[in-house]
Amino acid sequence: MDKVEVTEMILSKKKQTGITWASIADAAGMSEVFVTSACLGMNSMPRDKADRIVTYLGLPQEAGPVLAEFPTKIFDQAVPTDPCIYRLYEIVGVYGHTLKELIQEKGGDGIMSAIDFEMYVDKIPDPKGDRIEVKMSGKFLPYKSW
């Protein structure tokens, strides 16, 4: 059993039961964004949290160690065609340099870490049309001179 197979089992169980990522995250006692990412194979989970998800979803016990395995973070380098993912690429394309400038102006010569990182996604009601709010918080890592 590998990460792809476990992801397929999780997605199948979600479709069959109608459960949400939030409920899976609650079962694990972890962030909805992180749990979703780990279930999609892009992060590893602490073994006890992985086992909670396996139990909650009724998956084979062999899936727990797979969710806890360190991932190989390989993703397609081409611009995706899925509209939701494409728009995120568009945001980075349009605002990426702006974000870099502002991060470095406020923090100095460095980057925002995706290793020490948190992200939240919320739907915000608005009279002009509902909005999606994405909050990201990553540790600032200064470049070092030597």
Catalytic residue numbers read 87, 90, 113
The Cα–Cα gap between 39 and 89 comes to 22
Which of these, 11, 6, 8, lies nearest to 65 by C-alpha position?
6
Selection from 81, 71, 78, 74 nearest residue 34 by Cα? 71
Measured CA distances, 145 to 101, 115, 141 (Å): 19, 22, 13
Helices marked H in 1-146: 3-17, 21-28, 32-39, 47-57, 63-68, 83-107
